Amino acid sequence: MSSGAVSTSPGTVVTEPPGPIRAVPPAWAPLRHRWYRALWIAQFVANIGAWAQLVGAQWLMGDLDGSDFAVALVQTAATLPVFLLVVPAGALGDMFDRRRLLICGQLLMATAAGFLAVLTALGVMTPSLLLGLTAAMGIGQALSMPTFQAVQPELVGRDELPQAALLNGANANVGQALGPAVGGLLISAFGPEATFALNALSFIGVLLVLTLWRRPLEPRPLGHERLLGAVRAGARYVRSEPLFATVLARAAVFMLFASALWALLPVLARGPLGLDAGGYGLLLGGVGLGGILGAIVVPAVRARADADLVVAVGALVYAGSMLVTGLAPSPVVVGGALVVTGLAWVAVLSTLNAAAQIVLPGWTRARALAYFQLVFMGGQALGGVLWGAVAEEFTSATALVAAAAGMALSVPLVRWRLRLQAETVDVSAVRHLPDPPVAHLDAGPVVVTVEWRVPAADAAGFIAAMRPVGRARRRTGARLWGLFEDIEDPECFLEVFTVSSWAEHLRQHLERGTAADRDLEMRARRFLAPGTEPRVRHLIRADGTAF
């Protein structure tokens, strides 16, 4: 999107100022905040343990089974539980205290890693046990991932969110630079069980920081939502927010092809490249080194280019490095390509993550970001199966070449159909709706009607202004929404929307309003006939049955 363009997307839009270079906070600005810094350091240690364990699990599966498909399934076992559980886990992150939920997830992962270490040391590990305990860690990750992303705006300033996303990506990649090398050394010296033990111990720092952090309690005037209702509310929000839906679609396309590299790199290392565990660890370390370079390079690039261009160029660079990785016979050449891969990886994902964070209000941040993680982990889980099957039928090099070609061909298509917007949305919490009448919380379903009187000359402008208002109603809880014109009185428009219960409608009034939603309604109010106000009525279904 060109600088200074006016968006028709819903929300209060602030376009990027014109000019080739925009002022952005320094790359390391989020580290000035005490609890972000403490959690970032603890996560760094945990990331080293996680990457060391990945090397250990994939290498151990190669020893236990040996087939390309079985090795690729390690990635699927780690990510499929996240794919299945991250959406309800995100709802839990919006329903309950996020700090305590993070502690539960970290404890589960530490316990599973401990069992992996003990059972492997005792010599009783089997492929099924390895996949099962890896999946248990995936469950803990599902509990943690959307909530960890959701607390970022509580730790840093809103204008620092892109830098925080980049630092988090760099954190993972620095861990990726060190963890695999550490894992390879531990495997060579003590066996795979040592990598599992290291991972179990690496959770101590995160648990300590989360225990000491005194997160302010969130006001919940209506109490906790029910799980199923919270999941449905998150799904409605995702469906009704086109800016966020575009981010999800771009992430899905990228991960579909990018997952081939992570699934098949251990196969290449053991096979065509002829490397041992230490050599494989160094290859993954090259990806991590690229991530470190990305933390330095990407902020300067983002000051000169919008998010859409960064993601597109990053995807093309990733495709090129994946092509080299699949075709090059030399470990040195592959290692160099993987440095570029790491840079492109952190550029694409940190940019998409920041784009997602910026458009999400606090009340739904964890459950909406769960869909971002769903796309991310689901792409890896399904990609592990897809590209593993292609490698089994043909070769791992063929699978990587096919994935690289698919990614390169997809870039112009997604930029044409799914362009990221160069804008921000004011999602700060605002109570802009008048207090509703009193009714029992369980009453419903509810029909809300709003009568608007608009001069005939302004009808077209009013209808256009109400479309984003309708999306805002659906984002905050409306199941159905429509705008109707009175045939006998053309200046009378009736807005009608339904809500599942009176409690859900109260949440629209008391908990879910944003400055962007308020401004959308004010824009529609400008078309009202002079001296009139919208007339609101609330109707509760008399027989109590659902719609």
- Please name each of the domains of the chain with its CATH number: 28-215+226-425 (1.20.1250.20), 446-540 (3.30.70.100)
Residue (of 502, 506, 495) closest to 446 by Cα position: 502
Write phi, then psi, for 495 (nearest 5 degrees).
Answer: -90, 130
Condensed to tens digits (0 to 9), the pLDDT of residues 422-431 reads 566 777 778 7
Say whether 267 sits in a helix, a strand or coil.
helix
What pLDDT was estimated at residue 428? 79
User: Which tokens go with 19?
Assistant: 């000019």
Q: Tokens 């998010």 map to which residue?
A: 307
The answer to whether 197 touches 49, Cβ cutoff 8 Å, is no
Q: Residues 6 or more apart from 488 whose CB is under 8 A from it?
A: none
Q: Which two tokens stand for residue 360?
A: 């999400």
Calpha distance 169→35 (Å, rounded): 18
Residues of the chain with pLDDT under 50: 1-22
Count of CB atoms situated within 10 Å of the CB of 228: 10
Helix H or strand E encompassing 536: strand 535-540
Per-residue pLDDT, 430: 81
**pLDDT tens per residue across span 25-77:** 666 788 888 888 999 899 889 988 988 888 888 778 877 776 667 777 787 78
| pLDDT (0 to 100) of residue 504 | 87
Which residues, in sequence order, are CB contacts of 193 under 8 Å at separation 6+?
56, 116, 117, 118, 120, 121
User: Which residues have C-beta within 8 Å of that of residue 155, sequence separation ≥ 6?
Assistant: 30, 33, 35, 36, 39, 164
At residue 154, the pLDDT reads: 82
Q: Checking DSSP bridges between strand 13-15 and strand 480-485, what pairing results, if any? A: unpaired
| Dihedrals phi, psi of 531, to nearest 5 degrees | 80, 5
Q: Residue 542 and residue 273: Cα distance in Å, rounded?
A: 72
**What would the two tokens of residue 52 be?**
């060391």
Q: Which of 354, 263, 217, 276 is nearest to 78 (CA)?
A: 263
pLDDT at 220: 64
Question: What DSSP element (H or E) covers 499?
Answer: strand 492-499
Which phi-psi region, left, alpha or beta, contains residue 496 (left: φ > 0; alpha: ψ -120 to 50)?
A: beta
Contacts of 123 (CB under 8 A, 6+ apart): none
With contact defined as beta carbons under 8 Å apart, do 55 and 281 qualify?
Answer: yes
Which amino acid is it at 19? Answer: G
Task: Specify the pTM.
Answer: 0.73
Q: Encode burial over 99-131: b for 16+ CB neighbours within 10 A, e otherwise.
A: bebbbebbebbbbbbbbbbebbbeeebebeebb
Contacts of 542 (CB under 8 A, 6+ apart): none
Please give the structure tokens belonging to residue 545. Answer: 């049955």
